[in-house]
Amino acid sequence: MTKNEFPFVVGYVGDIAIIDKKFKNKFKGKTVAQLVEAGQYKAAYCLALFTGDKDKELIANSYNNLSGSRYNVADLERLFGVFTIAEAAKIKVL
């Protein structure tokens, strides 16, 4: 799955990734910082899996400042329910 698709996956049906078309159209091409600024933390984290640890730090710091939490970078995958860049046999845009 590419960095242009993965942040917009909302679920899976078997080996088919389901992408939210409206969400993708609204936020495609945004950077991690822009997604964070828009409050799209899960999408930002999915993109950060492609871009690196510096962006993960940005997400953790911003989320903690907003929520009063103390999450570190290692906690983000559990927080957002994203553990790896998923592979899908097919992608369906709805």
Q: What percent of the chain has pLDDT over 90?
A: 85
Query: Can you give the residue range of the structural domain that contains 40?
Result: 6-93
What is the enclosing helix (H) or strand (E) of 51? Answer: helix 41-51
In a domain, 1, yes or no: no
Q: 10 Å Cβ neighbour count for 40?
A: 20
52-90: per-residue pLDDT in tens?
Answer: 999 999 999 999 999 999 999 999 999 999 988 878 888
In a domain, 28, yes or no: yes
In a domain, 15, yes or no: yes
Domains contained in the chain, number = 1
